Amino acid sequence: MKKNIYGDLSIISGNSNIPLAKDICKHLGVELSDTAVNHFKDGEISLNIADSARGADVFIIQPTSKPVNDNLMELLILIDALKRASAGRINAVIPYYGYARQDRKTKAREPITSKLVADLLATAGADRVITMDLHAGQIQGFFDIPVDHLSALEYLSDYFKDKVQEEGDFVVVSPDLGGVTRTRKFANYLNLPIAIIEKVRPRPNENEVMNIIGDIEGKNVIMVDDIIDTGGTICKAAEALKKRGAKKIYGAATHGVLSDSAVDRIQKSALEEFVITDTINQPEENKKSKIKIVSVGCLIAQAIDRIHNNESISVIFG
């Protein structure tokens, strides 16, 4: 065990993404703590943390992905159990922060659920949150505890370095106006130009028209987003790019939610490949030929190591 002022380093995982937790432990050179998270017959969550947590610097690895409410409750209950077990510090590592898309009111009587979740985590007893590529960076301000916001963009861009060198003539495309900052950051890693898809709905109940701002004709394209959910928008965007003369079209997103028929939709689309990270554990049926997965275990391990040793992590901020 590594020692520091916060106590021994301890890594605990809920059920959401055990493979990622094990990968993080491998990079840190520590064992995953023996923890069993189960359910009673009525669906209530029960857990048993076999290893002592007294005075320890505990990092709980638990993305709040599907089933979102179960995984969120697991995380809250783990935090509460560790607080009652006198853990020295409790760090919630949430690579994918569920409810992040409910970050503002867009109509009357609508909740801001991402703020509610932030309050629940602090109330349960979390001392710190480590997360990755929030849907809106401003969500960090919903917390009254420290938040370390990591980015997987450099890891995703690394996947394309060889393709850019071999195939040449690439442009990075934002699928909407809101993702321009993310797209430019990704493009800077590869020293590429950007283009933007502007979606316009001419009249109510009419299909969106996609205008392309920038030069994509005769070029290979990488579309970049933070989340791919149903895949409908990204596949329509790929079709629009193809009609306007793009050659090969690739996609990349940090979080592969992949709900509904997203995987089949991607398989049948104009996309050559879609690259995601392992912030969300993917079932075997999602690992189709066009879906490529990049690991961020090393990045999260670096952040944990620096936080545990009271070192700055700004050097690994994306």
- Type and span of the H or E element at 25: helix 18-28
For 60, 226, 301, 316, the CA distances from 178, given in Å and listed in that order, are 31, 11, 30, 24
Q: Which of 161, 156, 158, 109 is nearest to 133 (CA)?
A: 156
* 199 belongs to the catalytic site: yes
List the catalytic residue out of 22, 83, 115, 199. 199
Give CA–CA dist 34/193, Å, rounded. Answer: 48
- DSSP secondary structure, 37-77, as one string: EEE-TTS-EEEEE-S--BT-EEEEE----SSHHHHHHHHHH
- With both helix axes pointing from N to C terminus, report the angle between 180-190 and 153-167 in degrees, rounded to the nearest 10: 50
- Rounded to the nearest angstrom, the gap between the alpha carbon of residue 233 and the centroid of all alpha carbons in its chain is 18
Q: Which of 167, 215, 166, 169 is nearest to 192 (CA)?
A: 169
Instruction: Tell me how crowded residue 138 is: count the other CB atoms within 10 A of its CB.
Output: 11
Give the residue numbers annotated as catalytic, written as ranges: 199
